[in-house]
Amino acid sequence: MSVTTSEPISDFQPFGMDFRNDPYPFYPKLLAHSPLEVEVGGEKAIVISRYRHVRHILSRHKQFSSVKPSGVPGMEKVDFFNSRPVMNYTDPPEHTELRKIVNPAFTPRNLAKLQLRSQAIAEELFDELGDHPEFDAVAEFGMRFSKRLLMNTFMGVPEEDEYIFMDWLNAIPLLDQAEPGGGKPKEFVDAWTAGTDYCDAALDRAQRDDSENIVRLIADASDSGRISKDDVMATMLVLFAGGLTTVSASTGAVLLKLVEYPEVAERIRMDPELAAHHFEETLRLNPALTSVMRFPKTDIEFEGLAIERDTPLYVMLSAACHDPDTFPDPYRFDIDRPNYRDHMGFGAGQHTCIGNVVARAVIPPLIAEAARRYPGLRRSAPEEALKFDIANPRVRHLASVRLTA
Give the C-alpha separation, 374 to 24, whole Å. Answer: 30
196: contact with ligand HEM by CB under 6 A: no
250: contact with ligand HEM by CB under 6 A: yes
Q: Which residue number, 120 or 306, has a Cβ lying nearer to ligand HEM?
A: 120
Map the footprint of ligand HEM across residues 141-180, applying CB under 6 A. Answer: 150
Of 130-138, 265-273, 324-332, 344-352: span binding ligand HEM (CB under 6 A) = 344-352
Which of 239, 307, 401, 403: binder of ligand HEM (CB under 6 A)? 239
Torsion of CA 141, 348, 16, 402, to 10 degrees: -10
Q: Which residue number, 107 or 380, has a Cβ lying nearer to ligand HEM?
A: 107
Give the C-alpha separation, 291 to 388, whole Å. Answer: 16
322: contact with ligand HEM by CB under 6 A: no
Residues that contact ligand HEM, how many (by CB under 6 A): 25
Which of 3, 31, 157, 238: binder of ligand HEM (CB under 6 A)? 238
Minimum distance from residue 294 beta carbon to ligand HEM (Å): 8
Minimum distance from residue 348 beta carbon to ligand HEM (Å): 7
Draw the binding track, 283-312, toward ligand HEM (x: CB under 6 A; -: no contact): x----xx--x--------------------
With 0-12 / 13-18 / 19 or more C-beta atoms within 10 angstroms meaning exposed / middle / buried, residue 339 is exposed
88: contact with ligand HEM by CB under 6 A: yes
Side chain identity at residue 74, one-letter code: G
**Is residue 379 within 8 Å of residue 402, measured between CB atoms?**
yes
Which of 34, 49, 65, 246: binder of ligand HEM (CB under 6 A)? 246
Q: Which residue number, 54 or 405, has a Cβ lying nearer to ligand HEM?
A: 54
Minimum distance from residue 362 beta carbon to ligand HEM (Å): 8
Map the footprint of ligand HEM across residues 345-404, applying CB under 6 A. Answer: 345-347, 351, 353-355, 358-359
Q: Which residue number, 84 or 405, has a Cβ lying nearer to ligand HEM?
A: 84
Q: Which residue number, 9 or 401, has a Cβ lying nearer to ligand HEM?
A: 401
Q: Which residue number, 87 or 405, has a Cβ lying nearer to ligand HEM?
A: 87
Residues in the site for ligand HEM, rule: CB under 6 A?
87-88, 99, 150, 238-239, 242-243, 246-247, 250, 283, 288-289, 292, 317, 345-347, 351, 353-355, 358-359
